[in-house]
Structure formats: structure tokens, C-alpha cells
Amino acid sequence: MSTLPTPGPLIKVKAACFPYSFKFIERSTVGGWTSVDQNDETVRQLAQFAARQICSNHIVDAIEKAETQVVAGINYRMDILVSKAWKCKVEVFEQTWTNTQRLTPFACKSVP
């Protein structure tokens, strides 16, 4: 019977080292999705960006779930409530050093 490895410690990273703002990096599966705080300012800005890409007058009412994936930039996957009428699952790719933000897959359904 084998045992699972013990998770590693959190590693502090100085913000000046990276063009994006990670305070801590947690050991996880390479390329895997990691939960993040829905109230994080970047998450909130990208959720609003996604809502406006879907329809220019949409407003984000709530972010129900948010995850990130480090690639050649960062993918943000979020479940958002939009304009009190739509629940949307969105993904936004962000690459800060090239000023790229792109809405990738998204799906919305009306809220009863």
C-alpha cells in the first residue's frame, strides 16, 4: 500500500518577480485548475469584461465560483450571475505582458 505525498508548503513570491499579482503559489497539478477568491479585484474585473463581451450592457451581479489555470498567461474560469437574468459559465484568457484579454468558451442560461 502506497501513501500519498504530503502537500508542500506555500511559497511566498515577490510581486516584482512576475507581471501578474500572485501573493502565494500553492503546489498543485501542473496545468490544473485552482480555486481563487471570487472577491479578488482581477477576478471581478475579468468577470465584468466577460459580461460586456457577451452583451455591452450586461452587469455582473455575483461571482459564484472562480478558478485559475496557469498557461502562457492565466485562464480564469468563472460562474457569474449577469443582469439578474442569466447564469453564465465563462472563461477569460489573460496575458498581462501583452495586454491580452480574451473571452474564450462561455455558456449562459436564463434564471427562472
Q: Is 90 helix (H, G, I), strand (E, B) or coil?
A: strand
CATH code of the domain made up of 30-110: 3.10.450.10
Q: Largest Cα–Cα distance in the chain?
A: 57
Is the pTM value of this prediction over 0.75?
Answer: no
Is the pLDDT confidence value at 19 over 80? no
What's the Rg (C-alpha) of the chain? 16
Is the pLDDT confidence value at 29 over 80? no
Beta-carbon count within 10 A of 83 CB: 15
User: Which tens digits make up the pLDDT trace of 55-104?
Assistant: 888 899 999 999 999 999 999 999 999 998 999 999 999 999 999 999 99
| Mean pLDDT (whole number) for 18-32 | 52
Is the pLDDT confidence value at 30 over 70? no
